[in-house]
Amino acid sequence: MNGPLRLGIAGVGTVGAGVIQMLERSSAAMAQWQIPEIRISAVCARDRAKKRDVDISAFEWFDDPIELAKDDKIDVFVELIGGEDGAAKEAVETALKCGKHVVTANKALLAHHAVELASIAEEKNVALNFEAAIAGGIPIVKTMRESLLGNRITRVYGILNGTCNYILTRMQAEEREFADVLREAQEAGYAEADPAFDIGGHDTAHKLALLTTLAFGTVTSFDSIYLEGIERISSADIEAADELGYRIKLLGVALATESGIEQRVHPTMVEKHSAIAEVDGVTNCVAVDGDFVGDVMLVGMGAGAGPTASSVISDIVDIARGIILPPLIRPVAALLPIKRARMRAHAGGYYIRLSVADRPGSFAAIAGRMAEQNISLKSIVQRPPAGEISRRPGNRPTDKPMPVVMITHDTTEAAIQKAFALIEQDGHVQEPPQMIRIEKL
């Protein structure tokens, strides 16, 4: 490469400012490391007059990211706008078609359009790097693209959303309800004013879609992911999990099975002394199971200006060094169509919590419905509602709901859902049943 590598940065918010600061601070060190000079030529954002933590006056200003993507004075288009469509998608497409390298932190864009964009990048022989799009500062893309090549990956999983992990950690540590901790997380800036994207599991699913493609060489398919958020997790579930020896985490899991690729995002019970159970607060982790390397787990900050900017800079440095790899590890032409795995027995069993009417026959009827679906119960605990004193012998049932917690042996989700439908039809439960998978990690 002759001359400096020239950057055009679209989006000068928290992450964009972090990228500028990191480049300014590390330029001397990069020269010592014999990395070709990296220079910011132009920037683009919604509001030029907005007060920022960095000085952008020395850079050429663009109002339109698409015009920046076309500009002949940049070699790399750094997309930090966000969003799966609109200006972000059009600008990235434009940059790639103009023969410019692209670095992006946009997980939503790639979860829906990775194959299309990677195809353009391959055709133009340019980079499409996205380390920052999955788990912030954790270098999982580089690990899978480079360090784990030669392994047959059987499973990839992790805690991929710091907001959810923060909420579940606080609920556990402080014995508080979901809504209370969510409100505090919003006040602290860990959760958005509209938190649905995070707590509903969508953010985790975007990242899992990309990890699935990298791990198994399949076409990226966000719509193939089973999706369940943490909105229904209560303090009763957290308490029961603790007594049973578990912690509850929102996990993204993708694994190869005989019938296809299983992709799922949902609350999960993991053994409390396992490594993943100890990943608390806003921290993320990603684990990969390979046939030669075994189980590799990377833990670190999954969001924020510093960690995300670190991954963006790593991608830019690769380009400066002339490292241009297929974006999705395999060439697009070699990607396999996604084959969704059929329903199968869950190897870890299930936690079930029912709010059962306290009257004769209810408990026996529920156990009978479970047996009809060949669901074997490992343990059953009937718990009085919090703060309620047990009735003395001889008192009549009150018909008040009693929490009943069950742990099953391996069974299928289809069997459990059928049993739930029959139990609700019988009128023995007074609120929707709660079910959480128990994962063997």
Give the Cα separation of 254 and 265 in Å (integer).
9
At residue 103, what are phi and psi to the nearest 5 degrees?
-120, 130
Stated as kind and residue range, the H or E segment containing 311 is helix 305-320
Q: What is the CA radius of gyration of the chain?
A: 25
Smallest CA-to-CA distance from 276 within 154, 155, 158 is with: 158
CB-CB neighbours of 180 under 10 Å:
14
What does the angle CA 320 – CA 326 – CA 331 come to, to the nearest 5 degrees? Answer: 165
3-state secondary structure (DSSP) of residue 300: strand
Give the Cα separation of 261 and 263 in Å (integer).
6
Judge whether 89 counts as a catalytic residue. no
Q: Which of 89, 107, 207, 249 is catalytic?
A: 207
Percentages helix, strand, coil for the chain (3-state, rounded to 5) are 40, 25, 35
Stated as kind and residue range, the H or E segment containing 261 is strand 260-271
Give bridge partners of residue 43 from the DSSP assignment: 9, 61
Stated as kind and residue range, the H or E segment containing 426 is helix 413-426
Give the Cα separation of 209 and 59 in Å (integer).
36
The residues assigned a catalytic role are 207
